[in-house]
A and B are shown apart, each in its own frame.
Chain A
Amino acid sequence: MSSNPLAPYQCLVVDDFQGMRSMLRDMLRDCGAKNIEMSSSGKEAIALLAENKFDIVLCDYNLGSGKNGQQVLEEAKLRHLIGPACTWIMITAEKSSDWIMGAVEYQPDAYLIKPITTELLLNRLERIAAKKQAFAEIDQAIVNKQFLRAIALCDSKLKTDTANAAELQRIKGQLLLNAGDLDAARKQFEQVLTLRELAWARTGLGRVCYEQGDYTAARDHLLQVVQTQRTYLEAYDWLARAQQALGDNEAAEAVLADALKLSPNSPQRQKNLGQLAMKRGDLTTADEAFRKSIQVGEHSILKTPDAYIGLAKVCSASGNGGEALKVLTAVQRQFDSDDVKLRAKSAEGLIYKQEHRLAQANTLAAEVDELLQASTELHDDAASIEAAELLLATGRKDSAVKLLQQVVRNNHENKGLIAQVQTVFDGAGMQQEGAVLVEGSRREAVDLMNRGVLLARDGKLVEALDAMRAAKIALPNNARVLLNFAYVAVLLLQRDGANRELIAESRQALLHANQLSPGEKRFAQLMEALALLAG
């Protein structure tokens, strides 16, 4: 170890307290660091992170008003301002529940509890560097979404690296879930559990059961985690899902409320509670949860427009149309996106419609229609469904039907979403006509895809690829179509040799499919095949 081990690194210190800032800077200097940036707030830190590449970030958890350290880290990771090579150390006065929210992807490399000394800091930095080096290949494979490769790397490392064995086991379990290999994941978790009762392994087992449709077993595993390790929050979210799948919304609501008592700072979980309560007609809880989601999300990149739309609906349902409209104005200020604009305007129009202010409802419907005509992008499913609701309610049937057909075509295997579309038709008194339209769109998607699949089966791969590409253009958000396109492309590439353009097109289709429907086994397999072809 040289006397200036940190000399080559770009460092960032984030602390709202001047004394601590200088102390941390001096510590880094004592270790030889030359390039040290400082910031006194989360906002400033994000600006610096966006402009520079940092190797080491020392960030205080508590940054006064504005973003806290966790929110800075989340934003940096989600916006790809830092990569897996960056070392992030969170400095805190005491241990907090927010640390173990379960979302591993947003965790720092280490937490240091004050008081901190130079030696301790250097010690920790060296240890993290060694660990990053040990996991570098695996991390890179994960960033590239090469799940099968990452699993193979874990297996080979597990043979020799006893010091990191526990961490490797955990990562491998997570990867098997991501790769959709549920049988292997089950075996992995069960094997770990024979030696020791561990929350992540039991939760993993619960998830396997959930994905396999055994919701009772899923619930029982997850209940066990919640009872034995109260602060392992990831288990609460999956438990609530299992209970919902079992039709017990009341229990699901109670579970989420318990998790939020432990750690109220998740905008997503607060929003989920709000939606559940809303579904049960529990307007008081829904109101509170949506407001809380908006409040804790104020400075967070994880804030969600769903909370605002939900709150507007609650207000409107409680006869408070005035506030609902205010919330809908606020959401458009907070989120600059066409989908949010569409949803806000649709919700506003529906409120007018409900209050029998028909002229205003019509004006909004016209605006929504105009937005739809003007945009070439496909809208997200929630926005499409909500817009269609208003359009149907104001007699703009053609636009509405077009939107809903699009939703069905792009999700032809998603029973829940299709049922939701049917409910919208039902609400407009179009039960039978709607059912025919839904089935027509579903068939259309199946036919489009089968054309390519049948051609491929007959070995006509070039024609099959053309057919799948046509299907992909017609159904750009259909995960099944995207996976099948990549499948045919891989067959063709294997037969005719590598072709860089087609490899790139297929990879893009796969990544999009993974976004739409994570955890598909074929995604992992096809990514691996593509990687082999790319050489």
Chain B
Amino acid sequence: MTEATPQADITLFLASSVHDMKNSLGLLGGMVEKLVAELPPHSGADRADYAHMLYELKRINDNLMHLLTVYKLGNALYPFDPVPTLIADLYADLAVQNRVLFSTRQLALQIDVSADLTGYFDVDLIAGVIGHALVNAANYTRDTVRLSARELGGALELRVEDNGRGYPPAMLLDSRAGLTGVDFFSGSTGLGLYFAHEVARLHRNREHIGSLRLENGGTFGGGCFVLTLP
């Protein structure tokens, strides 16, 4: 019988490495945005490259954050903290965070929300979910993405809509089943959707539970990412 060599518990390093990587990504992202700002106008090809870099950086950052949060949620370590929040503020922040990505890709971002619509949710989690959906939409849309929100039957409905070709049927099915596995063909790990589902379910008001659905159609007839919070 061979004795197992003691192995370090990887979770011990998870949080600290993620911090470290996020710091690096933050600096990197800042540099790229600076470079974009210094680009002469009409430098099409360079602009597209930088846009791609930004897109990938955002994806890495989102994934890291999702990984860490899923780990913390699983161990009941996440400080879940629903607070009253203006949706207009949430969307304004997301627009700022993704401004360079949208402008370099020459995509329009429409925001449709009344100035005093308030919701109760964990801002960081919801910003993570909607932000990820926004980056995805930017990748699959034709030229426009729309963020909207409204109160519907006492619940809050947050929508991310695009005018692309919509979600593939398999994803719509998976979304309804609430489970997504790793999809090696599309390059999607399913982490983003899993994260979104978990975050939705964390939000409760008495017997009502938050939910997520994907659909095609909506304002532009493209993909719709719809988060409902009680």
For residues 20 through 38 of chain A, which have their beta carbon under 8 Å from a beta carbon of chain B? 20, 23
Q: Check: B10 CB closer than 8 A to any chain A CB.
A: no
Given contacts A93-B19, A100-B81, A166-B84, contact A115 B116 (CB under 8 A): no
Q: How large is the interface on B (under 10, 10 to 19, 20 to 34, 35 or more residues)?
A: 35 or more
A230 neighbours in B (Cβ, 8 Å): 76, 80
Q: How large is the interface on A (under 10, 10 to 19, 20 to 34, 35 or more residues)?
A: 35 or more
Q: Are B81 and A231 in contact (CB under 8 A)?
A: yes
Q: Are A94 and B18 in contact (CB under 8 A)?
A: yes
Given contacts A117-B33, A163-B118, A197-B205, contact A96 B79 (CB under 8 A): yes
Q: Check: B150 CB closer than 8 A to any chain A CB.
A: no
A115 to B96, alpha carbons, bound, how many Å?
12
Q: Check: B176 CB closer than 8 A to any chain A CB.
A: no
- The residue on B at minimum CB distance from A122 is B96
Choice from B30, B76, B89, B115 contacting A115 with Cβ under 8 Å: B30
Q: Are A95 and B118 in contact (CB under 8 A)?
A: no
For residues 3 through 40 of chain B, which have their beta carbon under 8 Å from a beta carbon of chain A? 15, 18-19, 22-23, 25-27, 29-30, 33
Q: Check: A159 CB closer than 8 A to any chain B CB.
A: no
- The residue on A at minimum CB distance from B86 is A163
Q: Are A95 and B79 in contact (CB under 8 A)?
A: yes
Q: Are B33 and A19 in contact (CB under 8 A)?
A: no
A163 to B86, alpha carbons, bound, how many Å?
7
From B27, B29, B96, name the one whose CB has the most chain A CB atoms within 10 angstroms. Answer: B96
Min distance, Cβ B97 to any Cβ of chain A, angstroms:
6
Q: Are B124 and A95 in contact (CB under 8 A)?
A: yes
For residues 89 through 106 of chain B, which have their beta carbon under 8 Å from a beta carbon of chain A? 89, 92-93, 96-97, 99
- The residue on B at minimum CB distance from A98 is B79
Choice from B15, B30, B79, B120 contacting A97 with Cβ under 8 Å: B79
Min distance, Cβ A8 to any Cβ of chain B, angstroms:
23
For residues 29 through 81 of chain B, which have their beta carbon under 8 Å from a beta carbon of chain A? 29-30, 33, 61, 65, 68, 76-81
Given contacts A94-B19, A123-B93, contact A113 B79 (CB under 8 A): no
B205 neighbours in A (Cβ, 8 Å): 196-197
B204 neighbours in A (Cβ, 8 Å): 228
Given contacts A163-B116, A197-B206, contact A123 B92 (CB under 8 A): yes
A231 to B82, alpha carbons, bound, how many Å?
11
B124 neighbours in A (Cβ, 8 Å): 95, 113
Q: Are B96 and A120 in contact (CB under 8 A)?
A: yes
B25 neighbours in A (Cβ, 8 Å): 115
B93 neighbours in A (Cβ, 8 Å): 120, 123-124
A95 neighbours in B (Cβ, 8 Å): 78-79, 81, 124
Residues of chain A at the chain B interface (Cβ within 8 Å): 17, 19-20, 23, 62, 93-97, 99-100, 113-117, 119-120, 123-124, 127, 162-163, 165-167, 196-198, 228-231, 262
Give me the 6 closest cross-chain CB pairs, A-B, nearest first.
A115-B26, A166-B84, A93-B19, A97-B79, A231-B79, A162-B116
Residues of chain B at the chain A interface (Cβ within 8 Å): 15, 18-19, 22-23, 25-27, 29-30, 33, 61, 65, 68, 76-81, 84, 86, 89, 92-93, 96-97, 99, 115-116, 118, 120, 124, 204-206
Q: A17-B23, A117-B97, A231-B79 are in contact. List 11 more A-B contacts (CB 8 A).
A: A23-B30, A93-B18, A94-B68, A95-B78, A96-B79, A100-B79, A115-B26, A115-B27, A116-B26, A162-B116, A198-B120
